[in-house]
Structure 1
């Protein structure tokens, strides 16, 4: 069985003058050994994530593995919904969260303590998470960022990049836009992903698809519905 995937929560890169909304893609992977959730999103996506799971007949307890690309609030706030699951996070990111960059204000307080209530598997280097699901380091945005590479039957090599590629701008310019590690490190990660992927699921943008000329473009829109009450 080759893995399949779908985006449960559609992220976007909208921001305000001094802040950003922080809506990240949350991706569900159906793999041979069970369901994998790539990131859990922020509180702003909490109810929408539960609704998306419920619509697919999935309870939080059905998620066997939660893979955290990194520990920023918009990617890891809802970990408490999946305390029964195995959490996979890089050792380097875990260590970074204890002593973050002085300008990094995006790590939620207590994230290590919350995750410590569950089973954590620390990873380093590259490896296999499930059949056709491989993890790899993707530093730059933070030193411990990780991504997943899926060997799919119908979509080729799909890389779920998290914030290693946050939005199309980074893929088009081939340059890291926001780094708490080093810009050059993030840029090398972006180039590696662009060289390998047929499709890319960014952290905060619709899926990017390789074109005939080797560039990447997107076909889906990312609706943003606001209700005034």
Structure 2
């Protein structure tokens, strides 16, 4: 049965390293419409952060979708900025990498919220996934390094990479990979994903497009920070807008 895929970026990841209070976690999140001859399904890949849940529902509503219309939620890994909003979708099948639930080796990962593993284990529609599995025809690709069990999702010539490739900088062979469980394994995952895709959607950046032997960001990214409107005694602007321009990325090493 042939499936057709339409991708809706609900949130574009923003490559903000963090703040003096820690990481901001402005990650990407996607809705994938899967259409066959007999049905249409709505799949979420990642769910953004807890502070973004109202905006997440608002953006789904703009697509005329309610939480009950989401058929499946695919969690790339258990970090707070990607995973925590799965409870918003009461009728969805939940897909989680087995190695995220059962890490092969001990690792103290402060980005994983407490209690989510325990709650997911009890979920009546939890599916544990591994490399090579299929979700609505889309291929699961294990891409560890950032975490032990992180997965990407592939369809057509597109790969949703999540934090296996956090941003354009990580395509440079000598780039320092931050917030990473195993840098050597992470670098191998980056090579693997780059070899398979024509377009990569990273966890914290605009889409990366293969242009001849290299990669390029074609879209400008913007993000806005606002102070409370009640702070009328502050000097200067109460709103700041960041703009991250498009541009070429380094060619990945063979």
Which residue number in structure 1 is paired with residue 31 of structure 2? Answer: 28
Match of 1:210 in 2: 210
Over residues 11-64 of structure 1, what are the superposed CA-to-partner deviations in whole Å (9 max), with x where a residue is unaligned?
Answer: 212121351210110011111351110001111321221111010101111110
Q: For 2:47 and 2:176, locate their aligned partners in 1 and report how far apart those are by CA, in whole Å.
A: 23
User: What is the TM-score normalised by the length of structure 2?
Assistant: 0.81
The aligned counterpart of 1:154 is none
1:126 aligns with 2:132: yes
Q: Normalising by structure 1, report the TM-score.
A: 0.90
Q: Is the 8 A contact 2:43 2:73 kept in 1?
A: yes
Q: 2:6: which partner in 1?
A: 4
Structure with bigger RCO (C-alpha 8 Å, 6+ apart) = 1
* Matched-pair contact (CA < 8 Å) for 2:96–2:127: yes
| 1:29 and 1:38 in contact (8 A); partners too | yes
Does structure 1 retain, via aligned residues, the 8 Å contact 2:76–2:96? yes
Alpha-carbon contact 1:87-1:118 (below 8 Å) kept: no
Instruction: Report which of the two has the higher share of helix.
Output: 1
Instruction: Work out the CA distance in 2 between the residues paired with 1:175 and 1:90.
Output: 27
> What are structure 2's unaligned runs of at least 5 residues?
229-254
Contact kept in structure 1, 2:141 and 2:151, CA below 8 Å? yes
**Separation in 2 of the partners of 1:176 and 1:190?**
13
CA distance in structure 2 between the aligned counterparts of 1:69 and 1:176, rounded to whole angstroms: 22
Question: Who wins on radius of gyration, i.e. which is larger?
Answer: 2
Structure 1 residues 73-84: aligned runs within 5 Å: 73-84=80-91
Q: CA deviation at 1:175?
A: 5.2
Cα distance in 2, alignment partners of residues 210 and 173 from structure 1: 16
For 1:55, the equivalent position in structure 2 comes to 62
Q: Distance in 2 between matches of 1:119 and 1:182?
A: 31
Give the whole-Å Cα distance in 1 for the aligned partners of 2:77 and 2:180.
Answer: 12
Structure 1's consecutive aligned runs of 4 or more residues displaced over 6 angstroms after TM superposition are none
| Distance of 1:139 and 1:53 partners within structure 2 | 29
For 1:124 and 1:142, the matched residues in 2 are separated by: 14
